A and B are shown apart, each in its own frame.
Chain A
Amino acid sequence: RKEVEQDPGPFNVPEGATVAFNCTYSNSASQSFFWYRQDCRKEPKLLMSVYSSGNEDGRFTAQLNRASQYISLLIRDSKLSDSATYLCVVNDKTGGFKTIFGAGTRLFVKA
């Protein structure tokens, strides 16, 4: 089982749609959680951190369920510019340094 698993994608949605990405992680001792965005041939960049209480940034909402070891990202009112790969990222504190990236879910938003 992979340490961080994401929906395989790709997701193809029309502008204005709501899209949800799911992610599960295997280590219950994982400490912190993030969603990154990666545009084609560019470096990954932080989209938002994910907190247990859930957090929102404009059209983006992230949720964490520690009991189920599940992370989600909801994008409302999709824009063409949201087209990218979304990476689920987990920091493990056990054993020292370990940042684990999911394989990513590709999103295509079409006019």
Chain B
Amino acid sequence: NAGVTQTPKFQVLKTGQSMTLQCAQDMNHEYMSWYRQDPGMGLRLIHYSVGAGITDQGEVPNGYNVSRSTTEDFPLRLLSAAPSQTSVYFCASRGGTGGNIQYFGAGTRLSVL
């Protein structure tokens, strides 16, 4: 079972560079989301999607873009990386009913120098 797959696992960027964090799920889940987790802190929601073609902002959306062209994929784009975006990024997915469990990818550890 692949579940939620994130790539890359690690990334180092220079300030001002752009990149895309990839996320794919094979569970046909409607809901997908991106979180960031800073050291010693809780999860903070960046963007989420309730289905293909539908995205919305979470708690900390600035500096990030998302799109959802297919059910399976939900990439996160960093437009112009800043040191404040150094964090661990988790992608998650869940089914459409309220009782459904959220599954996480293994995370991408990003450092911006």
Contacts and interface: CB of A to CB of B under 8 A. Distances in A.
A99 B102 contact: yes
A96 B100 CA distance: 13
- 10 A-B pairs with the lowest CB-CB distances in the bound complex, closest first: A31-B98, A43-B104, A103-B42, A93-B98, A32-B99, A101-B43, A91-B98, A97-B50, A97-B31, A32-B98
Interface of B: 31, 33, 41-43, 48, 50, 88, 90, 92, 94, 98-107, 109
Interface of A: 31-32, 34, 41-46, 49, 87, 89, 91-93, 96-97, 99, 101-104
A103 B9 CA distance: 24
* Interface majority SS (helix, strand, loop, mixed), chain B: strand
* Interface majority SS (helix, strand, loop, mixed), chain A: strand
Contacts of B33: 97, 99
A43 B43 CA distance: 10
A34 B101 contact: yes
Contact of A42 (B31, B100, B107): B107
